[in-house]
Structure 1
């Protein structure tokens, strides 16, 4: 069986590229992720008082995760072991589960507070909360 160098549905590939470009342009200019499409999949959002990062990583041991924040760069790295031991006699036809070392990097806004980061891993979801510095939060000034 021969393999084509081109996707079967060129229009679907172009539509996916357009969606990816649109989504990249819609992100806040202060929160940027590098390595889109990697593991773990990330959702990043913000409120007035914090930046919230949710990583979807079922089957990980929290002790294998390394999370750091240095000069506004949040790094999540670790290793996910293979779930199935390979048998020399068996052929694997489809293997979609990621296994191996991974790293995701996010650039956070300047008002992110590196001293108050909180990370929790529960039910396969890694939740990282990065509070904003109090001085950077908007405040209401009464008029006298």
Structure 2
């Protein structure tokens, strides 16, 4: 018999410990435009057109004047603060799933992104960021002679 006693299976305890350590260090770092940490805020949709890269951040309830956007060395950073929802008079929280506080999302842009051609607008809780593509990366027709 062992001198150690675990209330549950040892392997499930080690798995739980690994998840806690991973979440303490941010769950890893995104390696590309397509990867992100689970539960990251704001949630993003990223797509492309012939002329631009479209990034839509789902950020309801945020004052657009308090959002900070920057591009540096191919990384787009979205930062801001999501305020706490005011509690109703006489009510106490039973459960809270809505994130509140400061946030920062960093997205690696593809090489064809043009950091000098960026537009951002906030409409109905969506932050829409349009990053133009470099002219050299746009498709073009070549005539055969």
TM tier, smaller = 0.7 to 0.9
Query: How many angstroms does 1:90 deviate by?
Result: 4.7
Aligned partners of 2:87, 2:124: CA distance in 1, in Å?
24
Q: 1:31 aligns with which of 33, 49, 65?
A: 33
Alignment of 1:1-144 (within 5 A): 31-85=33-87, 90-144=91-145
Change (3 A) 1:30 1:92: closer
Instruction: Give the match for residue 4 of structure 2.
Output: none
Root-mean-square deviation (CA, aligned residues, Å) is 2.4
Q: Is the 8 A contact 2:32 2:107 kept in 1?
A: no
Give the length in aligned residue pairs: 118
Between Structure 1 and Structure 2, whose CA radius of gyration is higher? 2
Q: Is the 8 A contact 1:32 1:108 kept in 2?
A: no
Query: How many angstroms does 1:35 deviate by?
Result: 3.1
Name the SS of the counterpart of 1:142 in structure 2: coil
TM-score (norm 2): 0.72
Query: How many angstroms does 1:48 deviate by?
Result: 2.2
TM-score (norm 1): 0.73
5+ unaligned residues in a row in structure 1: which ranges?
Answer: 7-28
Aligned partners of 2:35, 2:102: CA distance in 1, in Å?
18
- The 4+ residue runs of structure 1 with deviation greater than 6 A are none
